[in-house]
Amino acid sequence: MEQLFLCHFRAAAEGEEGVWMTPMEIISFLQKKDQGPAVHQQSGLLRTCTHKFGISNRRKKRGNEYHVIINKSI
């Protein structure tokens, strides 16, 4: 899960414009990009990944959102 996450996302730096995504939006994005094992089975690791890689988050009405940059190289 960590490698897959890092292939497609990175933390938005201070002042850098990124995208705020909910965990389900991130998982849906990864499912569309990955043809391997089902990503939803590893969805519990998403919170660990975001914390480990310093992804900032905020709490909104629709739940937690993470501030990420989508890597365009893939």
Domain assignment of residue 60, given as a range? 2-70
The count of structural domains within the chain is 1
Average pLDDT of the residues in 16-35: 86
If one compares 38 and 28, the residue with the highest pLDDT of the two is 28
Count the Cβ atoms, other than its own, within 10 Å of residue 66: 25
What is residue 24's predicted lDDT score, i.e. its pLDDT?
Answer: 87
At 42, the pLDDT band (50, 70, 90 cuts) reads low
- Residue 48's CATH number: 1.10.10
The pTM for the full model equals 0.80
